[in-house]
Structure 1
C-alpha cells in the first residue's frame, strides 16, 4: 500500500468514503496492484495527460470507432468515450469471474434446450410456465429444434458489478446479440498507442485473441457433414448503432460481412452472392434480431433478413449464432430464477450472486415495489442499452406516480432491484481537467462451442461519465476503460 504524492495528478482526487473505490482503500492508501501504474501516471502533468487523451481520441476517430444512439436527434456518429486510466483485475478475482460466467452460461444453455424440448424445469415447478408463455422472446418456431452441438447462446455478455460490500454480482445477462467486444480490443490498441511503456510493468493477458477464438468456436458448431465451413457475419447495415463492431469482427476473423440482400436460399441451403458465383454458407453469426432474420417466418415486412433462412436452419443446413429464441433466457423476469436454474441443471451453487430482484407479476412483489419505489431501480424486462430504467431516489413525486401507473398497467413487463452501489474508479473528466470517482461495471464475453468454452480475459469496463450516475451504457452517456486481467506470477 502507498500514498499519493502531493504533486501527482491524483492529488486532488476526492474520495467518497461511502463508495467502494477500486484503486484506493478505506484509509486512502493505493491498493498494491495499482501502485506502479499510479506512479507512472502521477509523474505526468495534467497538460501531458490532456495531450495523451486527445491522442487516444484521434486513434478512435481514425479507426472509425463510433456509435449512434437510437432516438438521438443528431445525425452524426459519436466517438465512443474512452478513459486512458485502466481497470486492473488480479488473477484470483478473475478466476472467480471467469468460472462464474461459464457456469451461468452453461446453465442458461441447458435451460434453453429444456424449454424448447421437454420443459422439465416447468413440470418440476422451478420456473413458472406463465413467464415463458408471456415472453415475446419465446419462439414457438424453435420448439423441438436441435441446434448443432446443442448450443443456443454461442456468444453471451454477462454484466457484473462490484458492490460496496466488495462482492461481485451479476446485474443482467445478454444472450441475444450482445455488443461491445470490439471496444475491448480497440481500447487496448488505443492505450498501447498512447502509453505503450506501461505494459512493460505488468504481465497482462491479451484480448486480441478474441476473434481467433470466436471463429474457432463458430466453426465447431458447423452443420453435420460439412468439413470446412464458410462463416459470415450478417448485419442490419451501416446505420445500426453497432455496425462498427460487425465490420470489425468480420475483418478480424477473415470472413465476409454481409447484409440480407447478399444471401439467398435455394433448396433449403444458404448461398452468398459473389462475383465468382454463389458460395454456400454454413454458419451465420447474426447481428439481426430474431423477428427480422426471415420475412417468410417472422416479420413479413423485414427487409433486413433472408427469405427462407429459417427453413434452412430447421433442416440443419446452416447454423445461426446465436440461435433464435435465446432472448427468453435473458428476459429480466427469468433472471430472478437463474440461481435456481444453475442448481437444477448443474447441481452446483451459483459462483456469482444475483442482485435481489422483485418481479412485478407476483402480487406480493408488486405491492412491495409500489410501496418502496423510491428505494428501487425499475427495469423493463425486455429492453437493453439502459433504456426505460427508472431510479427511484432520482424521481420527483409526479414521476414516481407516473412509474407506478406504468407498472400497474403491465406488471409482467417490469422488475425492480435495490439501488446497488456500484464500485467507483478514478476517471479523467474533460470538463474539470481532473480525475474523479465514477461508477463502473464489467461486461464479460463468454463463447460456447462444441466441447469448448472461452471467456475473454479482459471484458468491457463501462463508466458512467456523469457524476453520480449509475447507468453506464454508452447510449446513456457512458464511456469505457481498458480492462487488464493480470497473469499469475
Structure 2
C-alpha cells in the first residue's frame, strides 16, 4: 500500500509537518501504520466495513435511484487532536453556545439587540425560522440550545474556523459513538497507549441533561422521530436504546388537558421530556405548519403550559440561519463582552449592496450558500463550477439576495485516508463536535470527522458522497 503524504501546497496536513516529519501527536500512530503490511491494513478496513453493516450504521438518501439506505463509510485512519488544540476548541465552543443561547432568549423577549442596532431587526423577524408563536417564551431552565453540533474546518494556516452552527436537530453523534467502538477494536494497543479521551458516556450525559429539564425526580423521556424513512432514523433508535427511553413518533402521542401522553399497551402514560428530532415547524400542526403529518396537535400548548420540555427548544432554527452566522462575533461581544475565541469564515451578505456586487463580480472564486439550505444542497463552489452555473447563481442572487451568502473557498485540511484498499492519500475533512447544555455547557471530547472521499472534493456531507473518521482527542 503506497503512502502518499498529502502536504500539497495550500493545504494543512494534519498528520505530517513536512514531507517526512510526523506531527508529534501522530508520531506513534504514523510509525505503526508504516510498519504494518498493506494486506493487514486492507484487512482492518474490510473488518470495519463489515462491522458497520452488522451494526446497521446506515443513513437514508432521498431521491437516490440506487436505493434508500447507505452505509456511512468509516475510514479506519483516525483524526488525532492533541489536548492543547482541543482546549481552544472547547473554550471557543462554550463561549459561542453561551452567547447564542442569550441571543435566542433576547430576540423572543426583550429584543435589546435590535434596539442597540447590533443586528438588523428585519434580518431576524423576516427569517422563515423566526417563530412568532415563541415570542414571550422562556424555555425550562432558560436553555434554548440543549444539543448543538457545530461544524468547524481548518484552513491552510492551521487555525480552526467555525463553518456553521447546528442548533435544531444536529445529527451524526451515533456515528461518532459507534465508530469509536469499531476503531478501538482495530487498534486496541495504540488506542490505550496514546491516552484517548472517552466518548462512551455521551448517552449518559445526554440522559442527565434531559432529566435536568424536568422538575420531576424521575421524568418520563422520549425521543421524537419522524419515522423510519428519516435520514437519521438509525441515530434516533440508537440513542433511545442507549438511554433506555422511549422512541416515539407523532402517531404514538396525543395531548389532553395540555399534557402529552404516550399510548402504551397499558394505557396512556404522560411524557415529561421530548428530545425532538423533528424540525421546528413540523412539531405541531396547530401552532406551525398545518400540513405536518409528523408532529403532535397541541404539543406547543403543552410546552407553553410547562407540562413538557422540548430539546432543542422550538425557535432555535433562526440561529442556524447562515446570514445570522455572519453576526455571531458581534453577538458574542454584545452579550458576553468578550472577543470571540474561534473565528468565523469571512462572510459576504448578499442582502447588502456592496457585498452583493463583490459576490457577483467574483463568483468564480467564492462558495455561495443558500441561507436556509443544509446537507451540501443549494450551494455553489465557484472554482469547481462552470460559467453556466456561475451565471445561474448570479441570477438567483439578484432575484433573492437575502437568501444567499458567500465565503472564500477554504483550503480544508487533509488527513490520510485509505482509498480503494490500494493506497493512502490525503482527503479533506471537517469537524463536528457535540455540545450539551444542561447544568453547565459541556463539550464532548471527541467529534464526528467527515471526510470528502472524492479526490480534490471539498464536500464532506454524507448525502453528497462523504465518509467519516473516528476523532481521537488526547489527554
Please indicate the TM-score interval, normalised by the length of the shorter structure.
Answer: over 0.9
Once residues 316 and 3 of structure 2 are traced to their aligned partners in structure 1, the CA distance between those partners, rounded to angstroms, is 48
Choose which of 195, 216, 227 in structure 2 pairs with 1:237: 227
Conserved? CA contact 1:217–1:452, under 8 Å:
no
Partner of 2:424: 435
Once residues 389 and 150 of structure 1 are traced to their aligned partners in structure 2, the CA distance between those partners, rounded to angstroms, is 35
Once residues 16 and 191 of structure 2 are traced to their aligned partners in structure 1, the CA distance between those partners, rounded to angstroms, is 21
Partner of 2:56: 64
Answering whether residue 145 of structure 2 is matched by residue 153 of structure 1, we say: yes
Choose which of 313, 318, 323 in structure 2 pairs with 1:333: 323
Partner of 1:33: 25
Once residues 440 and 390 of structure 2 are traced to their aligned partners in structure 1, the CA distance between those partners, rounded to angstroms, is 47
SS of residue paired to 1:208: coil
Once residues 204 and 14 of structure 1 are traced to their aligned partners in structure 2, the CA distance between those partners, rounded to angstroms, is 24
Partner of 1:4: none
Task: Measure how far apart 1:442 and its partner are.
Answer: 0.4
Choose which of 94, 100, 103 in structure 1 pairs with 2:92: 100
Partner of 1:446: 435
Once the two structures are superposed, the pairs formed by residues 282-361 of structure 1 within 5 Å of their partners are 282-361=272-351
Task: Measure how far apart 1:308 and its partner are.
Answer: 0.8
Name structure 2 gaps, 5 residues minimum. Answer: none
Task: Measure how far apart 1:17 and its partner are.
Answer: 2.8
Once residues 447 and 38 of structure 2 are traced to their aligned partners in structure 1, the CA distance between those partners, rounded to angstroms, is 28
Equivalenced residue count is 475
Answering whether residue 233 of structure 2 is matched by residue 256 of structure 1, we say: no
Task: Measure how far apart 1:41 and its partner are.
Answer: 1.9
Conserved? CA contact 1:82–1:481, under 8 Å:
yes
Answering whether residue 267 of structure 2 is matched by residue 277 of structure 1, we say: yes
Once residues 335 and 267 of structure 1 are traced to their aligned partners in structure 2, the CA distance between those partners, rounded to angstroms, is 39
SS of residue paired to 1:422: coil
Partner of 2:376: 386
Conserved? CA contact 2:3–2:424, under 8 Å:
no
SS of residue paired to 2:416: strand
SS of residue paired to 1:17: coil
Deviation digits for residues 128-147 of structure 1, max 9, x if unmatched? 01111221000000000110
Task: Measure how far apart 1:199 and its partner are.
Answer: 1.4
Partner of 1:3: none
Once the two structures are superposed, the pairs formed by residues 111-126 of structure 1 within 5 Å of their partners are 111-126=103-118
SS of residue paired to 1:278: strand
Answering whether residue 156 of structure 2 is matched by residue 168 of structure 1, we say: no
Once residues 70 and 186 of structure 1 are traced to their aligned partners in structure 2, the CA distance between those partners, rounded to angstroms, is 23
Instruction: Give the root-mean-square deviation of aligned CA atoms.
Output: 1.2
Once residues 385 and 270 of structure 1 are traced to their aligned partners in structure 2, the CA distance between those partners, rounded to angstroms, is 32
Task: Measure how far apart 1:43 and its partner are.
Answer: 1.9
Name structure 1 gaps, 5 residues minimum. Answer: 1-8
Conserved? CA contact 1:376–1:391, under 8 Å:
yes
Task: Measure how far apart 1:27 and its partner are.
Answer: 4.5
Task: Compute the TM-score of the two structures, normalised by the length of structure 2.
Answer: 0.98
Once residues 197 and 29 of structure 1 are traced to their aligned partners in structure 2, the CA distance between those partners, rounded to angstroms, is 23
Partner of 1:475: 463
Task: Measure how far apart 1:14 and its partner are.
Answer: 5.0
Task: Compute the TM-score of the two structures, normalised by the length of structure 1.
Answer: 0.95
SS of residue paired to 2:51: helix
More off after superposition, 24-33 vs 365-374 = 24-33
Conserved? CA contact 1:17–1:26, under 8 Å:
no
